[in-house]
Amino acid sequence: MIYSEDTLQFWTSPLSNTEEQRVENTVFMIKNAVTTYSELSGCTMEIFAQGSYTNNTNVRQNSDVDICIMLTSTFFGEYIDGKTAVDYGFIDGSISYADYKSHIIKALKNKFGSNAVEIGNKCINIKENSYHVNADVVPAFQYRNYKTIGSINREKYIEGIKYFAQDGTTIINYPKEHIKNGRQKNNNTNYEYKKLVRIMKRIRNNMVDEGIIDGNKITSFLVECLIWNVPNATITGYNTWADTIQSSIAYLWNAIKDDNCKEWGEVSERLYLFHSRRKWTVTETKNFLYDMYNYLKF
C-alpha cells in the first residue's frame, strides 16, 4: 500500500473538536459518579485520563478513553531492601483493593446503568452513546516506588499505579511518567514525535483490518513505545513523512535484528518494553516491522 504524502500529513492530526467534547463529557461523568457515591466519601482519590487520549496520540474516530481512578489515602509501596512500611512511618490502610473496586463498579452502574457497564479482566468498560465515548476505567491504588531511587524519605518516591486483574495478575505501571516523557520528546522533536506516532498507529490499524497482523499482540501501545525508542534525529531528519517512516522502521528493525533492544523501555522508562509477560515478543515485533516495511512498498 502506497500512501500519499497528503494522506500521511492528514493522519498527523489529533481528534476532531466534536470527538474531543465527547471525551471530556465522559471524563466529567465518571468523576461525578465516584465523587458523589456515599461509600467512597471517606476515600481520597485522584481521577485522571491516561493512555492515548491524554498522550494526544488518538487516531480513530469514537476513540476510547482510559480513565484511572487512583486511591491515594491507601497505597501500595515498594521500599528499599531491608525496610518496610513501618520504617517510613506508615500504617495499614483501611480498605482492601477488592472492596475499593467493588465500590467503583457500583458507583459507575448507578451513573451509567448496569447494562452499560461491563467488567473486563483489567478494566471496567462503559459503553458509548451519543453523548460520551467508550471508556475503560481502571480502579487502582497509588504505587509509591521508593526502591528504584533508594529513598528513605517518605515524601520522595516515583509515583505509579498498582491494581489486580480479574485473573489475579498484578499490574504496575507509571502513566504520569509516560505522559511527562512523551511531552518532552515531542518538544525535543519540534512536535514531530506524536505526529509520527499517529501515522504509525493508522498504518497499524489498517494492517489489522486487512488481516496482515494480529492486533491483540501488535498493540497501539507497542507502536507508541517503538517510536519512543527511535532517535530524535531520525524523527526530525527528513523532509517527507514517507522518508521519516521508512528510516524509523529501518532503524527499529535493524536494532532488534542486532539484539540492541534489550534496554528499550516503555515511554515511562520505568519498565522494559520486552519482557516475558508482554503480549508481544521480540520476534513478533521484528516480523511486524518487516511486514509494515513491505506493506508500505519501501
Q: Is the pLDDT of residue 22 over 80?
A: no
Q: Which of 126, 147, 173 is the last residue of a domain?
A: 173
* Domain stop point among 173, 195, 225: 173
Residue located via cell numbers 481502571: 138
Q: How far apart are CA 145 and CA 161, in angstroms?
A: 10
Domain identity same for 239 and 145:
no
Spatial contact of 48 and 68, defined as CB atoms under 8 Å apart? yes
**DSSP E strands, 184-226:** none
* Residue ranges making up the domain that contains 278: 178-295
3-state helix, strand, coil in the chain (%, to 5): 45, 15, 40
18 pLDDT tier (thresholds 50, 70, 90): low
Same domain, 187 and 135: no
pTM of the model: 0.88
Summarised one tens digit per residue, pLDDT across range 239-264 is 999 999 999 999 999 999 999 999 99
The verdict on 24 and 155 lying in the same domain is yes
Banded pLDDT at 214 (limits 50, 70, 90): very high
Same domain, 101 and 238: no
Under the banding of pLDDT at 50, 70 and 90, the label for residue 229 is: very high
Q: Which among 134, 149, 173 is the end of a domain?
A: 173
